[in-house]
């Protein structure tokens, strides 16, 4: 199967093309420090060709999920070092997804601080999970021009800390309605300065972040994730195909490890084929995400549409997902009620397949 062929991805070689997508799971300890439970969780899934760890706060004070991890303090670096050591001991590879929540942050999660965004437009399609329950999003404050360099510097420091924590590389999160994506798409970016208007201007902050992270890691250990169609977090763009095509061409200049694309819309409100235009214009490794099963992933790789596929729920519920594909085993059924809970249930207690039998495996 093509899924089990090695893949050269920048400076590293993957043992297979079955990647674990970044998945917010809210299992960090106090002060957003990665927990020992997280180390167990990721080590269980080390047979993925590459683990892309969950969205992680690059800059303090920008929490959007209550118990998500950060990478801005020494304690967080030490916590992540336990995770990377555990994954490497199992023979795995792991990148860290560095992230700024933008307007998806909430004052209750950030000592009362108002969230920031390219423009003063709130998320209205959903609510945010806080320590006081689900709450409506608030109107963000528009970032000033003189604040943007500190955003770039924050991502650079996060990249440096990720290196100290032992990661194999980093993924810049520019998808799903968080800060960099909010700048990219014209539904959330109404600026009239050099960071708004044209696609080139709207992409400016993301490209500055990529350059800063590149300066730390070298381009061949840096990936980026985009979601031109996804309406999650009240996102929309007037021409996602044009945006995708422009980004595909421009990102060639960075010689990235990979480009990671969420191909569709969670809510199926926006449709279109962004992958074709990206594949035609992007010269590097292309990873697809959203809604793939093993059969479709195999076909996409075999026909050259993609180089690898990342899986989300399949890795939540099946720590040995590649092995299950290889032996044709059935998949565990997900329990969405535990996706964002705070203990081992639905996190480290899903069974493995061993010798054709299901066994509880909690190493």
pLDDT tens figures, 311-328: 999 999 999 999 999 999
Expressed as residue numbers, the domain containing 325 is 2-359
Taking the C-alpha atoms of residue 350 and residue 282, their distance in angstroms, rounded to an integer, is: 37
Give yes or no: 137 in active site.
Answer: no
**Burial (CB count <10 Å: 0-12, 13-18, 19+), residue 85:** middle
| Residue 114, number of CB atoms within 10 A of its CB | 14
Taking the C-alpha atoms of residue 167 and residue 106, their distance in angstroms, rounded to an integer, is: 29
Which DSSP category does 113 fall into? P
pLDDT tens figures, 208-220: 999 999 999 999 9
pLDDT tens figures, 42-81: 999 999 999 999 999 999 999 999 899 999 999 999 999 9
Query: Residue 271 — pLDDT band, cuts 50, 70, 90?
Result: confident
Give the SS3 label for residue 94.
strand
| Residue 357, number of CB atoms within 10 A of its CB | 9
Query: Residue 255 — pLDDT band, cuts 50, 70, 90?
Result: very high
- The yes-or-no verdict on residue 267 having pLDDT over 90 is no
Buried/exposed 49-70: b ≥16 CB within 10 Å, e otherwise: bbbbbbbbbbbeebbbbbbbbb
Residue that wins the pLDDT comparison between 183 and 272: 183
Which two tokens mark 301?
């790789």
How much is the mean pLDDT over the chain? 96
pLDDT for 361:
38
Return the percentage of the chain with pLDDT > 90, whole number: 94
Q: What does residue 51 show for φ and ψ, rounded to 5 degrees?
A: -90, 130
Give the alpha-carbon dihedral of 260, 158, 151, 218, to 10 degrees: -60
pLDDT for 222:
98
Q: Which residues contact 204 (CB under 8 A, 6 or more apart)?
A: 183, 194, 195
pLDDT tens figures, 238-254: 999 999 999 999 999 99
CB-CB contact of 107 with 64 (8 Å): no
Taking the C-alpha atoms of residue 327 and residue 54, their distance in angstroms, rounded to an integer, is: 28
pTM: 0.96
- Neighbouring-strand partners of residue 257: none
Number of independent structural domains in the chain: 1
Q: Which residues contact 67 (CB under 8 A, 6 or more apart)?
A: 26, 27, 28, 32, 342
The label of the residue with tokens 């309406």 reads 231
CATH code of the domain covering residue 329:
3.20.20.70
Q: How far is CA 137 from CA 88, 127, 140, 191, 343, in A?
A: 39, 6, 9, 21, 26
pLDDT for 266:
84
pLDDT for 356:
52
Please give the average per-residue pLDDT across 330-347, as a whole number: 94
**Of 134, 67, 64, whose CA–CA distance to 341 is shortest?**
67
- The yes-or-no verdict on residue 189 having pLDDT over 90 is yes
- Neighbouring-strand partners of residue 288: 261, 309
Catalytic residue among 178, 195, 292, 350: 178
Which two tokens mark 325?
């594909």
**Burial (CB count <10 Å: 0-12, 13-18, 19+), residue 20:** buried
- Neighbouring-strand partners of residue 90: none
């Amino acid at each position: 199967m093509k899924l089990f062929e090695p893949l050269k991805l920048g400076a590293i070689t993957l043992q297979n093309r079955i990647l674990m997508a970044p998945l917010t799971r809210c299992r960090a300890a106090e002060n957003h420090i990665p927990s020992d439970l997280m180390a167990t969780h990721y080590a269980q899934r080390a047979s993925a060709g590459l683990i892309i760890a969950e969205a992680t706060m690059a800059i303090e004070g920008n929490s959007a999920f209550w118990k998500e991890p950060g990478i801005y303090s020494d304690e967080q670096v030490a916590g992540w070092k336990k995770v990377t050591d555990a994954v490497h001991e199992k023979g795995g590879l792991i990148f860290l997804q560095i992230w700024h929540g933008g307007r998806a942050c909430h004052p209750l999660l950030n000592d009362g601080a108002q969230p920031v965004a390219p423009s003063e437009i709130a998320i209205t399609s959903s609510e945010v999970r806080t320590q006081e329950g689900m709450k409506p999003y608030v109107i963000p404050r528009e970032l000033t021009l003189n604040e943007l360099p500190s955003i770039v510097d924050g991502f650079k420091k996060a990249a440096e800390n990720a290196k100290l924590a032992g990661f194999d590389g980093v993924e810049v999160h520019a998808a799903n309605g968080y800060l960099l994506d909010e700048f990219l798409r014209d539904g959330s970016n109404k600026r009239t300065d050099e960071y708004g208007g044209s696609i080139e201007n709207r992409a400016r902050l993301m490209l500055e972040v990529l350059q800063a992270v590149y300066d730390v890691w070298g381009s061949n250990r840096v990936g980026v994730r985009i979601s031109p169609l996804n309406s999650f977090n009240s996102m929309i763009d007037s021409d996602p195909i044009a945006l995708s095509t422009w980004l595909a061409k421009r990102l060639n200049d960075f010689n990235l490890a990979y480009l990671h694309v969420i191909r569709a819309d969670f809510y199926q409100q926006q449709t279109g084929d962004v992958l074709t235009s990206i594949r035609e214009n992007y010269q590097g490794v292309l990873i697809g995400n959203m809604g793939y099963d093993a059969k479709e992933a195999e076909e996409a790789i075999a026909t050259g549409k993609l180089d690898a596929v990342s899986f989300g729920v399949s890795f939540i519920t099946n720590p040995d997902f590649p092995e299950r594909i290889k032996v044709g085993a059935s998949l565990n059924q997900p329990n969405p009620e535990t996706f964002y809970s705070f203990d081992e249930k639905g996190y480290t207690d899903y069974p493995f397949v061993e010798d054709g039998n299901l066994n509880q495996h909690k190493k």
